[in-house]
Amino acid sequence: MAGNSYNQVEVSRSALQHNYHLLKKHIKTDTGIMAMVKADAYGHGMCESSLAFSEVGCNDFGVAEINEGVRLREFGIKGNILVFLGFVPSDTALFFEYDLVPVVYDIKSVQLLSAEAIKQNKEIDVHVKVDCGMTRLGIFSGEFKKFVAVMQTLPGIRYAGVASHFPRADERDSSHTDEQLIRFKSLGSVADMQVPGIVAHTANSGGILYFSQSSCDLVRAGISLYGYYPDGIAGVRRAIGEKLIPVMTFKTIVLQVKTVPARTGVSYGHTYRTTRKTLVAVLPVGYEDGLSRTLSNKGEVLIHGKRAPVIGRICMNLTMIDVTEIGNVESGDEVVILGNQGNEAISADEIGELTGSISYEVLCMFGNNNERTHIK
């Protein structure tokens, strides 16, 4: 397609790989890392990010829907690809065609997989999702024994793993995570359920960083792979030693610079009025590009290595900033919305706090709504 957008997301492969190596230091040497690359790798590009992780030894990848797993295989990603959100009956054969691993939470799905296995004269590995306190997808722990017993009677099905998920592992001092871990580990001691080679995994980024005892056979790294701590700014402040490196940068440019007099309304609704003669720079970025409208009159961007405040309402495609204190701003100048410029930095945590959200959503919004380039 001819022509590039003014708005560009850059993803650092070296930062992705740095974060992977750093997380390896937090877990046992015999524990593997599953890279969670669902949601297009949290906006960072699922295929390219998976390739970067593969290059440093990652062999396990987690996606939400089956179409994501298919994309990874067609891109050439090897290793185990687990699909966590189930599937519709018409997609059952895709697990066999693309060598994907379903994470199951109801017997009907296992029966569909068994029927397809018989049809193709194959076997398929499945992982069982258990709800140990998240109250989301998964069978309750009390149903686990019966579920596995029924599953093991179905031909073509190999019980290969068991998974759960921590809802409060970002709270370092929470006792809930330890309680949930005890409940999860007790599944392995349920009578007749000790099957050799079963892979157990429940630790997310919070579990990896703050509850080392939760590692099990695999850990599932998500937000931490992309350079952010699950407890946000507090996590950055409390981190000791080598730190995670944010992977994404979001840049735009100045379209126009104009001088407006005092008491001039800016943008829709004139929710901002200048209090002095003001140098206003207009940026070609707005809520269509993931820059939340809630940042109107309170967000900041970086230009010439300095912070400039957003003034007026953010529009669909345009945003205004006050560059009076910066000066010498011209059309075409680089503007950083997320990332570093000079000695200043704006993080997804900062933007998340201003919008009442979290880094996860900020990264997905920026990464999935703009042209994206992977750089070294």
- Which tokens in the block code for residue 108? 């009907």
DSSP H helices, 152-229, are: 176-185, 205-210
DSSP secondary structure string, 283-339? ES--GGGT--GGGTTT-EEEETTEEEEEES---SS-EEEE-TTT----TT-EEEEEE
Is 38 known to be catalytic?
Answer: yes
What is the predicted pLDDT for the residue at 191? 37
Q: Are 81 and 73 in contact (CB under 8 A)?
A: yes
Give the Cα separation of 163 and 376 in Å (integer).
Answer: 34
Q: How many residues in the chain? A: 376
Instruction: Give me the domains of the chain, ranges plus CATH numbers.
Output: 12-238 (3.20.20.10), 248-375 (2.40.37.10)
- Which tokens in the block code for residue 256? 């126009």
Is 159 known to be catalytic?
Answer: no
What is the predicted pLDDT for the residue at 192? 41
DSSP three-state, residue 164: coil
- Which tokens in the block code for residue 366? 């920026």
Residue 240 half-sphere exposure toward CB, CA atoms < 13 A: 2
Name the active-site residue from 6, 20, 24, 38: 38
Give the Cα separation of 316 and 225 in Å (integer).
Answer: 31
Residue 373 half-sphere exposure toward CB, CA atoms < 13 A: 10
Give the Cα separation of 285 and 95 in Å (integer).
Answer: 40
Q: pLDDT in tens for each of the 376 residues of the chain?
A: 468 999 999 999 999 999 999 999 999 999 999 999 999 999 999 999 999 999 999 999 999 999 999 999 999 999 999 999 999 999 999 999 999 999 999 999 999 999 999 999 999 999 999 999 899 999 999 999 999 999 999 999 999 999 999 999 999 888 889 898 988 988 875 434 456 789 999 999 999 999 999 999 999 999 999 999 999 999 999 999 999 999 999 999 999 999 999 999 999 999 999 999 999 999 999 999 999 999 999 999 999 999 999 999 999 999 999 999 998 999 999 999 999 999 999 999 999 999 999 999 999 999 999 999 999 9
β-pairing, 334-341 vs 344-346, is antiparallel
For residue 365, report the phi and psi dihedrals to the nearest 5 degrees: -65, -45
Name the active-site residue from 78, 122, 268, 298: 268
